[in-house]
Structure 1
Amino acid sequence: MGGDLLRDGKIGIAVIGCGHWGPNHIRVFRSFPEAEVLWAIDIDESRRQRIRALFPGLPTEKDPRVVWADPAVDAVVVATPTKSHFELVKASLQAGKHVLCEKPLCTAKGEGLQLAELAAAKGLLLMVGHVFLFNPGILKVKELVDAGELGQLQYVSATRTNLGPIRSDVNAAFDLATHDVSIFNFLLGAKPELVSATGASFLQPGVEDVVFVSLRYPGGTWANIRASWLDPKKVRQITVVGTRKMVTWDDLDLTSPVAVYDKGANAVPEYADYGEFLRVTMWDGDVLLPKIQMQEPLKNQNQYFLECLQRGRVEKSGPDFSVEVVEVLEAIEESLRKDGAPVRLT
């Protein structure tokens, strides 16, 4: 696969969707010498005009069929609203194109399984842009978790808020909490067993502006997510609590996004004349600020996608992982409809 893609030294890329993320994909792929962006597709003429102004000479079209018919296009980036992902990814795969799709892959697990099966049947690569899996700070936290530095993980917590951007096609769970579900699944190496969620729609009926999600993972680790686009302050933070140490990640801290705390508490059984009781002890040690090499996560992600195309396989953020994220989002939606009733994942 890799040899065919590099037959002329360039991997042909087309970007479908030129709203919020599409122009960033174009910018990043144009920075790689091994890639060439051949098309930018959007149904909105004003967006196509903006792309032509930003990237003079780049062909733009309204109809994605020009991309699917172009033999020079090796891979397609789908950066359109979530509810259009399934049909566009499916059509791209059927046309013989590899696909990098923005998160989430689709809105239903069944759709995701169809796309995964189609990609496998055609020998094509399907990857989803869970961009925080390529964030240097999150990768450092993953390194600490995998090395056992934190001990047994007890719980993880995420806050992701801002005033906007406000979506109408999906709610705050599908738009914002998707990131944290993917991060938690990545850090813990599993999907949750149980999901419960509540939320509220203040601006648009039936579209939750704020969601509160609880998840139970295998091994007894609990997780919590607060996601909102109706909040006065932009926050992107995660806390990981283990039996040995604790870690925080703050995406907006550009100097020290990760902090490792040598602090915690445990309960030790003790015995006295009047019986057995638990004695709780706490410790408060040093705080370590590991050096994090600041890199643009989208650039890391898209570089990885090109490397996957060259070696013929996706090992991170591939279809299996991404379908599990969609499965969790579906469970969150079901729990929201049931006023927070727990939903068990199979």
Structure 2
Amino acid sequence: MNEKINIGVIGLGHWGPNHIRVFNNFHDTKVLAVSDINPECLRRAADLFPSIQIESDYKNILKCKDIHAVIIATPTSTHYQLTKEAILAGKHVLCEKPLCQSSKQASELIKLSKERKIILMIGYIFLYNSGIKKIKTLLDEGDFGDIYYLSSTRTNLGPVRKDVNAAIDLAVHDISIFNWLLESVPYYVSAHGASYLQSGIQDVVFINLRYPNNVLANIEVSWLNPKKARQMTLVANKKMLTWDDLNLNSPVAIYDKGANVVSTSADYGNFLHISMWEGDVRLPKVEVEEPLKSQNYHFIQSIKSKEPVFWEDKFTYGVTKVLESINRSLNEYGKLVEIA
């Protein structure tokens, strides 16, 4: 496909206008139409983007033969139905995370997109984050050795959602990051949470995951926290690192630190004989780039080449399966759930 790719955007909340801005800055794409059920969002879009067609009914976008692809930036609870309709209408789809909360629905949509030869991409925006990409490169180089565990914190005071809990809204980022860095899906998950602001929707969730090779992971998410944080710690047997997305100058720090067991002899009583080392802290250069721009460029290139996003199918199913298992564990008061 060499001609300009025309885009329709469904959903004009936070992400919709950002997608419009990014696509309209590409030389080979153009946003033709946008849709939202909120009249105020439509009025705002008309003021900001006067040349774009405004639709109160998203079905008009799906019916438009001039539109090649759609962006679905609506509440999570609507993703499955809108994505399915878009695929059936022959539109390539970039859907904001998560695709859905059911692995059965995810499997259905993935299968349908393959049958219809449609590019289906999910907005795992942090896989295009410069710091996370740098960490992936570092791990692939092998200098860190065997990974022991990862922990992440993603908190803020709001925004509070009404359709999904904090795990589905926030932890999906950390799960996608962990699954990508480890190139695997966890075996087990256990999650505890509490609903303080609205009944039945957890505002704070603590998640424990067990990955292959005995890798442990922990995630804390909350939209009821005084401190905004997007942080991760990774501990391996040769090196350690931290990532702080709010540190724009040096988001990644590499620590030449570690510990080895020298002896388990009873001569040391209740203590292990440990050899510890503490070397330099290195702050690698991280090129600054807008994740949304990189993600959307990848989407367009996939459409042009007619090649699916290389990790999308199994990856999306895996992320959805973990989210589904987290909800099950939350509903069963922290029960350990096997991710089959």
TM class, shorter-chain normalised?
Answer: over 0.9
- Which stretches in structure 2 are left out of the alignment for 5+ residues? none
Residues 310 and 279 from structure 1, CA distance in 2 versus in 1: closer, same or farther, beyond 3 angstroms? same
| Residue aligned with 1:46, SS | helix
Aligned residue number for residue 11 of structure 1: 5
Aligned residue number for residue 139 of structure 2: 145
Residues 273 and 258 from structure 1, CA distance in 2 versus in 1: closer, same or farther, beyond 3 angstroms? closer
What amino acid maps onto 2:163 in structure 1?
Answer: D
Q: What is the CA distance between 1:341 and its match in structure 2?
A: 1.1
Asked if the contact 2:119/2:309 (under 8 Å) is kept, the reply is no
Q: What is the CA distance between 1:270 and its match in structure 2?
A: 5.8
Aligned residue number for residue 44 of structure 2: 50
Q: What is the CA distance between 1:107 and its match in structure 2?
A: 1.3
| Residue aligned with 1:49, SS | helix
Aligned residue number for residue 281 of structure 1: 275
1:265 aligns with 2:267: no
1:77 aligns with 2:68: no
| Residue aligned with 1:284, SS | strand
What amino acid maps onto 1:30 in structure 2?
Answer: N
Asked if the contact 2:63/2:89 (under 8 Å) is kept, the reply is yes
Asked if the contact 2:35/2:56 (under 8 Å) is kept, the reply is yes
Q: For the residues of structure 2 that align with 1:132 and 1:259, how far apart are their CA atoms?
A: 18
Asked if the contact 1:105/1:323 (under 8 Å) is kept, the reply is no
Residues 272 and 228 from structure 1, CA distance in 2 versus in 1: closer, same or farther, beyond 3 angstroms? closer
Q: What is the CA distance between 1:53 and its match in structure 2?
A: 1.2
1:35 aligns with 2:29: yes
What amino acid maps onto 1:69 in structure 2?
Answer: K
Instruction: Please list the CA deviations of residues 109-152 of structure 1 after superposition, one character each: whole Å capped at 9, or x if unmatched.
Output: 00000000100000111000000000010001111111112110
Equivalent residue in structure 2 for 1:226, among 220, 223, 227: 220
| Residue aligned with 1:238, SS | strand
CA RMSD of aligned residues (A): 1.6
Equivalent residue in structure 2 for 1:340, among 327, 334, 339: 334
Q: What is the CA distance between 1:268 and its match in structure 2?
A: 2.5
Q: For the residues of structure 2 that align with 1:315 and 1:281, how far apart are their CA atoms?
A: 45
What amino acid maps onto 1:112 in structure 2?
Answer: A
Asked if the contact 2:55/2:61 (under 8 Å) is kept, the reply is no
Aligned residue number for residue 247 of structure 2: 253
| Residue aligned with 1:32, SS | coil
Q: What is the CA distance between 1:315 and its match in structure 2?
A: 3.1
Equivalent residue in structure 2 for 1:303, among 276, 297, 301: 297
Asked if the contact 2:121/2:309 (under 8 Å) is kept, the reply is no
What amino acid maps onto 2:79 in structure 1?
Answer: H
Identity of matched residues, %: 51
Equivalent residue in structure 2 for 1:217, among 211, 225, 228: 211
Q: What is the CA distance between 1:87 and its match in structure 2?
A: 0.3
- Which stretches in structure 1 are left out of the alignment for 5+ residues? none
Instruction: Please list the CA deviations of residues 5-49 of structure 1 after superposition, one character each: whole Å capped at 9, or x if unmatched.
Output: x2xx31011010001111111111111011010111101110001
Asked if the contact 1:262/1:287 (under 8 Å) is kept, the reply is yes
Aligned residue number for residue 183 of structure 1: 177
Aligned residue number for residue 100 of structure 2: 106
Q: What is the CA distance between 1:282 and its match in structure 2?
A: 1.1
What amino acid maps onto 2:96 in structure 1?
Answer: E
Q: For the residues of structure 2 that align with 1:247 and 1:56, how far apart are their CA atoms?
A: 47
| Residue aligned with 2:164, SS | coil
TM-score (norm 2): 0.97
Q: For the residues of structure 2 that align with 1:73 and 1:303, how far apart are their CA atoms?
A: 17
Q: For the residues of structure 1 that align with 2:285 and 2:101, how far apart are their CA atoms?
A: 37
Runs of 4+ in 1 over 6 A off after TM superposition: 272-275
1:328 aligns with 2:316: no
TM-score (norm 1): 0.95
1:86 aligns with 2:80: yes
Instruction: Please list the CA deviations of residues 159-179 of structure 1 after superposition, one character each: whole Å capped at 9, or x if unmatched.
Output: 000001100100000000010
